[in-house]
Structure 1
Amino acid sequence: MPNTQQYPNGAVQLDHTVVHASDRQLSAEFLAVLLGLEVGAPFGPFLPVDLGNGVTLDYYAMADEPIQPQHYAFLVPDKRFDAVIARLEAVGVTYYADPHHTEPGHINRLFGGRGAYFADPDGHNMEIMTRPYVRPRR
């Protein structure tokens, strides 16, 4: 029988997702360094980055196939947002206020928070934001 504490109110939760990368080590370390996280121990063909809420991004090397860029959004505390922007600037990675990367060096202020987008080594569109999106209710 499952531990009901893992599933509050019977909620479905994301456990992990696979991120395709041409170099799993490079991509996992890139994200971990920028977000102030750690790369975990390899798990089979996967190299995990633990996001701290029970979810991992499991980097998987696809060296012989083109990588189809995806979008990954990270909710970060205000203080960590400033640190991520500083790290992006320190390593020369351009960040943008918009998902289409037309406003370089700027952040957005959506939903009363701050946000920015940047590309990882394989072109995945990474987003950091300090407030979750306000979604319409049905």
Structure 2
Amino acid sequence: MPCTFNHTIVAARDRAESAAFFRRVFEAADAPSWGPFTNLALDGGVLIQFADLPADAFPQIQPQHYAFLVDDALFDRAYARLVADGVEHWADPQMQRTGEINHGHGGRGVYFRDPAGHFLEMITSPYL
């Protein structure tokens, strides 16, 4: 079997809130959840598991970067939701071009944060 990406655990302050954000922006499907996880499914069998960070384990969540490849139609819908919801976003990872998207790598892209402070990237063309 070739190596494929299966799942990741995303630290959250409120796992239900974070899952709802991803569900709304990326139109992710609900998946069976268990134990400390609220799960969402993406195409290709990828599972995103949201877990509340134990309050006494660490003082804060260390932001991670998660990039999502989407088609043009989903980009349009998701970007419209980000704007309608007042989500701050940038065309660049340095957060210098506020309120813009980029047109790099033969497509479009945008950077924004989730409710836990993770850096999210949505692109319509892969880097490779």
TM-score (norm 1): 0.86
Deviation per residue, 1:103-136 (Å, 9 max, x gap):
11111111110000000011100000000003xx
Find the partner of 1:26 among 7, 11, 17.
17
Segments of 4+ in structure 1 off by > 4 A?
none
Aligned length: 125
1:98 is aligned to 2:92: yes
Please tell me whether Structure 1 or Structure 2 has the larger radius of gyration of its CA atoms: 1
Find the partner of 1:78 among 52, 59, 72.
72
Where do 5+ consecutive residues of structure 1 fail to align?
1-6
Query: Separation in 2 of the partners of 1:120 and 1:88?
Result: 11
| SS, match of residue 112 in structure 2 | strand
Richer in strand (by share): 2
Alignment correspondent of 1:3: none
Q: 1:59 is aligned with what amino acid? A: F
Q: Percent identity?
A: 43
Alignment correspondent of 1:127: 121
Greater RCO, CA 8 A, separation 6+: 2
Alignment correspondent of 2:101: 107
Where do 5+ consecutive residues of structure 2 fail to align?
none
Find the partner of 1:54 among 30, 37, 45.
45
Deviation for aligned residue 1:41: 3.1
Deviation per residue, 1:22-53 (Å, 9 max, x gap):
10000011111111123333222111111121
| SS, match of residue 121 in structure 1 | coil
